[in-house]
């Protein structure tokens, strides 16, 4: 007798959240099966990859591969336009790390003008990542959401300390999508989603950032949290955990010693750029396998590799 596999598609599904407008708009989520379980049911919206560029512009491009890809780009807007030609890229993530009051402390006005220039340069959907200072981010996201009204951007992220300000401005006043960031804990993720919806933000406008880490750096906590969130959303039908998940991979993976240690200091480790690429690929692939609906990456070679993996599995 031939083997007949048992299908495991669920009645519940992950919310489908659209970023951007027009032909280049992209959809996160929408599936009713576990990650890459295409043998149970079709996955309509495959996982997406966003490309991180920062307000530092070409200063971030420290590896030969990145320098070659962005060659000739004079501004951050030029880099955003170049991302359109990167195989596998579905959206642009502008990281405003220079706004950190403990760093360069760039003004909100300067950051807003930068985001406007990026929006004018590319038709790809835009994700705006803050500087991790809750007060500065609240102001940043409010002003950027106003300046890019109608662009259907995603701001990353509202946190427990500033979700009221970010949710009310980005989500309610200007109709943007809002990231809900929690610290690698399913209960914290659910609690933040709950209070965001109680505030009035539509559940269909929320994307979760449930936490991240580079592979090998406590990543097992990230993996188990993503697994538990997806299981609760689909198997248990928990509506407060059915928001799609986005994981910013690049800031973590390009900050660990394997990616930044010069080859001159650790020759036995081999090429510094190759190490960084491999760390980014490994972490992104693991995040997608555990339940992320989108990952944010940096290196063109890493983006291409993970994009091929997605296409091969969907």
Task: For the chain, 314 residues long, give each residue's pLDDT as a single digit of tens.
Answer: 677 778 887 999 999 999 999 999 999 999 999 999 999 999 989 999 999 999 999 988 889 999 999 999 999 999 999 999 999 999 999 999 999 999 999 999 999 999 999 999 999 999 999 999 999 999 999 999 999 999 999 999 899 999 999 999 999 999 999 999 999 999 999 999 999 999 999 999 999 999 999 998 989 999 999 999 999 999 999 999 999 999 999 999 999 999 999 999 999 999 999 999 999 999 999 999 999 999 999 999 999 999 999 999 98
How far is 118 from 153, CA to CA, in rounded Å? Answer: 12
Neighbours of 296 (CB within 10 A): 27
What does the DSSP assignment read for the chain?
Answer: ----PPP---S--PPPEEES-GGG-EEE---SSSTT-TTTS--SS--EEEEEEETTGGGG--SHHHHHHTTT--SHHHHHHHHTTSTT--EEEEE-GGG-TTTT---HHHHHHHHHHHHHH--S-EEEE--S-HHHHHHHHHHHHHHTTTS--EEEEE-TTTHHHHIIIIIIIS--EEEEE-SS-HHHHHHHHHHHHHHT--GGGEEEE-----TTSSHHHHHHHHHHHHHHHHTS--GGG-S-BEEE-HHHHTTSHHHHS-TTT-GGG--HHHHHHHHHHHHHHHHHHHT-SEEEE--HHHHHHHHHHHHHH-
Q: Which residues have a Cβ under 8 Å from the Cβ of 222 and sit 6 or more positions away?
A: 184, 210, 211, 212, 213, 247, 287, 290
Q: Please tell me the pTM assigned to this model.
A: 0.94
Closest CA to 15 of 177, 227, 159: 177
Distance, CA of 305 to CA of 285 (rounded, Å): 9
Query: CA–CA separation, 269 vs 257, rounded Å?
Result: 11
d(CA 46, CA 210): 19
The pLDDT value recorded for residue 60 is 84
Q: What is the per-residue pLDDT for 278?
A: 96
Our measurement of the distance from residue 232's CA atom to the centroid of its chain's CA atoms, rounded to an integer in Å, reads: 21
Classify the C-alpha dihedral 165-166-170-176 as positive or negative.
negative
Q: Which residues pair with 127 in a beta bridge?
A: 93, 154
Of the candidates 1, 8, 12, the one whose C-alpha atom is nearest the C-alpha of residue 238 is: 12
Please tell me the predicted confidence (pLDDT) of residue 8. Answer: 81
Count of CB atoms situated within 10 Å of the CB of 205: 22
Distance separating alpha carbons of residues 129 and 137, to the nearest angstrom: 9
pLDDT score for 4? 78
pLDDT score of 133: 94
pLDDT score at 1: 67
User: For residue 231, what pLDDT is reported?
Assistant: 95
């Amino acid at each position: 007798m031939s083997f007949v596999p048992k299908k495991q598609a669920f009645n519940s599904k992950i919310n489908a959240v659209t970023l951007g407008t027009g032909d280049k708009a992209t959809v996160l989520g929408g599936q009713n099966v576990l990650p890459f379980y295409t043998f149970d049911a079709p996955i309509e919206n495959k996982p997406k990859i966003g490309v991180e560029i920062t307000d530092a512009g070409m200063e971030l491009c420290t590896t030969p591969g990145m320098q070659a890809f962005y060659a000739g780009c004079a501004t951050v807007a030029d880099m955003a336009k170049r991302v359109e030609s990167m195989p596998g890229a579905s959206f642009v993530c502008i990281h405003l790390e220079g706004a950190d009051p403990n760093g360069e402390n760039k003004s909100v006005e300067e950051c807003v003008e930068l985001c406007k220039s990026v929006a004018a340069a590319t038709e790809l959907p835009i994700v705006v990542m803050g500087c991790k200072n809750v007060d500065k981010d609240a102001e940043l996201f409010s002003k950027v959401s106003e300046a890019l009204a109608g662009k259907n951007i995603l701001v990353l992220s509202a946190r427990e300390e500033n979700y009221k300000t970010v949710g009310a401005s980005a989500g309610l006043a200007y109709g943007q999508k809002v990231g809900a960031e929690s610290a690698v804990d399913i209960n914290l993720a659910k609690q933040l989603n709950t209070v965001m919806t109680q505030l009035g933000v539509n559940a269909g406008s929320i994307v979760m950032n449930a936490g991240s880490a580079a592979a090998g750096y406590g990543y097992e906590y990230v993996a188990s949290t993503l697994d538990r969130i997806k299981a609760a959303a689909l198997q248990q039908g928990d509506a407060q955990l059915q928001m799609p998940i986005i994981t910013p991979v690049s800031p973590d993976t390009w900050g660990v010693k394997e990616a930044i240690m010069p080859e001159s200091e650790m020759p036995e480790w081999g090429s510094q750029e190759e190490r960084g690429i491999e760390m980014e690929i490994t972490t992104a692939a693991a995040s997608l396998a555990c339940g992320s609906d989108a990952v944010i990456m940096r290196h063109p070679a890493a983006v291409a590799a993970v994009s091929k993996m997605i296409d091969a599995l969907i």
